[in-house]
Amino acid sequence: MYSINRRKFLGLFGCSCCSVLLPSCSTVPITERKQLSIIPEAKINQQAAAAYEQFRNKSKLITKGSQIKEIRDIGKKMEKAVSAFFLKEGKEDPTQNFGWDYILVDNDKVINAWCMPGGKIAVYTGLLKITKNINALSIVMGHEIAHAVARHSAERASQAMTINLGTSIADIFLGGAINRTRNTVGQNTGMDIFKLGIMNPFGRKQETEADYLGLIFSSLSGYDIRESVKLWERMADNKKGKEPPVFLSTHPSSKKRIENLNNWISEVIIKYPPIKV
């Protein structure tokens, strides 16, 4: 069995599917990475907005107090800074059609935050015990906003569609060999070779990109991005003994994240200083 470089595979296969299925390969703002974009962003945003409303209605939310105020203040500051940056650069604002919203979920057991496509952001109270200050919280929120700005959800959905289509077509020519191998490995190990070999690494690529873009958005908004390293050191301490091996994870390890951040901080501070809005 021959092997192919994963990045080359995603690039060649992705962009060939762009021509076969529908439009199109798009470009991630700032990083300029080419990405597969078969599913319209507007459709993803519409579905996300509906899911977000369901989540809001079913969740226990904190709607008053200093914590939610901090989250909204950081979010508003970042909204304006991101839009001002793209305007200054003479580029289309990827957030122009976002319907921004921020909620604080009352759950101390969950150390997480997320941003749905279209700018719907949730922060869990458990995360605030790790962030501890507005600079660290801005790093997390910048990261989550970066996923939406970079259209990662649409990209993941498009990529999954092409892999499923490509596998089905290839299996016709290979007499079902791909699915037989996939099923055999799955039965023997409990692992999906496509998820391990393609989807998880692809997820790590997106997470790393969101770390970088999030650092930029935080810097543009006037926060101290040096706090990012301290944040991930606290995250690492909290996860001691709990992190899965990297090949099983859709996220980079805390150690790798800290290494990346240390490499980026000086460059980001110089290239992306606070922007006046």
Q: Which residues are catalytic?
A: 144
Q: In 3D, which of 225, 46, 60 has the Cα closest to residue 120? A: 46
Strand 61-62 and strand 113-116: the pairing is unpaired
Report CA torsion sign: 258, 203, 40, 51. Answer: negative
Query: From CA 182, how far away is CA 180, in angstroms rounded?
Result: 5
What region, left, alpha or beta, does residue 6 occupy, with left being phi > 0 and alpha being psi -120 to 50 degrees?
A: alpha
**Number of neighbours of residue 271 by Cβ within 10 angstroms:** 10
CB 127 within 8 A of CB 104: no
Q: Name the amino acid, one letter, at 53.
A: E
Query: From CA 102, how far away is CA 3, in angstroms rounded?
Result: 45
Query: From CA 158, how far away is CA 37, in angstroms rounded?
Result: 6
Contacts of 234-237 with CB under 8 Å at 24 or more apart are 234/130, 234/132, 234/136, 235/111, 235/130
Buried b (16+ CB within 10 A) or exposed e, 66-88: eebebbbebbebbbebbbbbbee
